[in-house]
């Protein structure tokens, strides 16, 4: 999976829009502000469609009795972050197949998460790294994120391994297993390998190919900073929400604008479910769960 930056950006902007709307319950407000790191983590984790409703249901039922150390707030933040991931996938995966058909030709599902990412996905990441995060001057990404060095591979392996080990240790099934061999086997089944070559991303960021920029971002209208919903998101980020733009009617023609619009609606649907205003069937429909990315 390549588009970590894209997924995180969509999730963060969805959170900004939802908080600005004034429609969220206190639980969602808490999780989207206090536990934003878990929102980000959920935004670039695969397979969330399989656990979204179950996790939201569990968090809703246990929320009144939550206590320190039960990680319930973090779990809910994680589930909300995945709303941004789902919105990004549904908006961008059809675009990847359209603008870079040669990369996906051998995959009937058009979903290359298990293989090396296409250039279109990498260029989307680097565009947002510049446009939204100002090359690491804003947000959670450090300025040196895409700076290539000879030690890049070693550092990626080290930091990635530490992160994955920490996540494994949080899982109750692994913690309960006393036998070291079985613990390792359980962890191996949950292992998500890294498929991104940081050098490709660094090259796209610092020495972009003009033809690839045109093909993958401009011609397909990937990101337009003038789209009203993007203008609103950026103004909220700066602490000065644009009063001329209504969050419920704002939109845009670019794919990024449509993605954050979709993710915002996903958060509102999840909020309605958490408040018991809609049931699970309607929630699944409004979240587009188990539907192909077409």
pLDDT at 140: 80
Confidence at 102, pLDDT banded by 50, 70, 90? confident
pLDDT at 165 over 80: no
Which of 30-39, 117-126, 146-155, 218-227 is predicted with the least confidence, judged by mean pLDDT? Answer: 146-155
What confidence category does residue 174 fall into, taking pLDDT thresholds of 50, 70 and 90? low
Specify whether the CB–CB gap between 11 and 78 falls below 8 A. Answer: no
Q: Report the 10 Å Cβ neighbour count for 230.
A: 24
Check whether 168 has a pLDDT greater than 60.
no
Is residue 172 within 8 A of residue 214, CB to CB? The reply is no
Average of per-residue pLDDT across 113-134: 84
The arithmetic mean of pLDDT across residues 27-38, rounded, is 96
Q: How far apart are CA 134 and CA 128, in angstroms?
A: 8
How confident is residue 112, by pLDDT bands cut at 50, 70 and 90?
very low
pLDDT score, position 152: 53
Integer Cα distance of 18 and 14 in angstroms: 6
With beta carbons less than 8 A apart as the criterion, state whether 230 and 257 touch. Answer: yes
- Give yes or no for a contact between 217 and 223, defined as CB atoms under 8 angstroms apart: yes
pLDDT value at 76 more than 90: yes
Ordered by start, the domain boundaries in the chain are: 4-149+196-286
- Cα gap 239→123, rounded to integer Å: 28
Tell which wins on pLDDT, 24 or 167. 24
Q: Which of 83-87, 138-142, 273-277, 285-289 has the lowest mean pLDDT?
A: 138-142
- Output the CA torsion sign for 145, 104, 163, 200: negative
Q: Which of 143, 140, 146 is nearest to 199 (CA)?
A: 146
State the average pLDDT over residues 247-271. Answer: 97
If one compares 23 and 171, the residue with the highest pLDDT of the two is 23
Q: Residue 19: pLDDT above 80?
A: yes
Residue 129 has pLDDT above 50, yes or no: yes
């Amino acid at each position: 999976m390549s588009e970590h930056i894209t997924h995180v950006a969509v999730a963060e902007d969805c959170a900004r829009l939802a908080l600005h709307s004034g429609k969220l319950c206190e639980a969602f407000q808490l999780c989207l502000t206090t536990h934003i790191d878990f929102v980000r983590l959920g935004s670039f984790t695969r397979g969330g469609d399989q656990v979204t409703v179950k996790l939201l249901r569990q968090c809703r039922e246990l929320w009144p009795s939550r206590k320190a150390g039960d990680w319930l707030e973090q779990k809910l933040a994680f589930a909300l972050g995945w709303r941004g991931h789902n919105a990004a996938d549904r908006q961008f995966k059809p675009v990847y197949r359209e603008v870079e058909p040669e990369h996906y030709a051998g995959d009937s599902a058009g979903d290359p998460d298990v293989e090396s990412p296409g250039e279109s996905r990498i260029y989307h990441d680097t565009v947002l790294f510049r446009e939204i995060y100002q090359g690491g001057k804003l947000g959670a990404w450090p300025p040196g994120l895409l700076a290539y060095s000879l030690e890049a591979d070693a550092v990626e392996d080290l930091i990635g391994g530490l992160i994955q080990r920490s996540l494994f240790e949080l899982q109750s099934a692994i913690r309960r297993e006393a036998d070291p061999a079985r613990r390792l086997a359980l962890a191996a089944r949950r292992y998500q390998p890294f498929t991104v070559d940081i050098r490709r991303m660094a090259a796209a960021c610092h020495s972009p190919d003009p033809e690839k920029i045109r093909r993958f971002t401009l011609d397909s209208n990937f990101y337009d900073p003038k789209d009203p919903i993007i203008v609103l998101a950026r103004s909220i980020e700066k602490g000065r929400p644009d009063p001329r733009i209504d969050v419920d009617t704002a939109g845009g023609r670019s794919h990024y604008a449509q993605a954050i619009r979709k993710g915002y609606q996903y958060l509102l649907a999840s909020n309605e479910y958490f408040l018991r205003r809609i049931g699970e069937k309607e929630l699944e429909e409004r979240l587009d769960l188990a539907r192909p990315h077409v």
